[in-house]
Amino acid sequence: MINKFTMAVYNHAPVCVQNAMCGWAGRRYIKIRYGGEFDKWAAFYAESSKWSAAQLMEYQREQVGLLIRECFDSVPYYSERWKQAGLSPDDFHDLPDLAKFPYTQKEDLFRESERMLSTQYDRRSLIKGMTGGSTGMPLVRYMTKGECQRHYAIVWDRMRQGVSRGDRYAAFQGKEIVPASQDKPPFWRENRPCNQRLYSMRHLSPEKLRFYAESLMEEPFVYYQGYVSFMSVVAEYMAERGLVPSPAPKAVFCTSEQLTTSCRRLFETAWKTRVWNEYGQGERCALIQECPEGNHHVQMDYGVVEFEPVAREGEYLLAEIICTSFILHAAPLVRYRIGDRVVIDETAVCPCGRPGPVIKAIRGRIGEYILTPDGRKYPHISLIVDMLRNVRRVQVVQERQDEIIVRVVPFGDYSDKDEQYAARCFQERIGGGIMVRMERVQDLERLPNGKVLSVINRIPGHSRNHLCGPED
User: Which residues form the interface with Zn ion (CB under 5 A)?
Assistant: 291, 293, 295, 350, 352, 354
Q: How many CB atoms lie within 10 A of CB 410?
A: 16
CB of 286 to Zn ion, least distance (A): 17
Q: Is 148 or 359 the residue whose CB approaches Zn ion more closely?
A: 359
Cβ proximity to Zn ion: between 349 and 435 the closer is: 349
Q: How far is the CB of 232 from Zn ion (least distance, A)?
A: 25
CB of 50 to Zn ion, least distance (A): 15
Closest CB to Zn ion among residues 286, 350 = 350
Min dist. Cβ of residue 150 to Zn ion (A): 24
CB closer to Zn ion out of 291 and 404: 291
Min dist. Cβ of residue 323 to Zn ion (A): 20
- Provide the minimum distance between the beta carbon of 298 and Zn ion in the complex, in angstroms, as a whole number: 11
- Closest to Zn ion by CB, 264 vs 354, is 354
Nearer to Zn ion, 197 or 354 (CB): 354
Q: Which C-beta is closer to Zn ion: that of 294 or that of 375?
A: 294
Shortest reach from residue 158's CB to Zn ion, in Å: 12
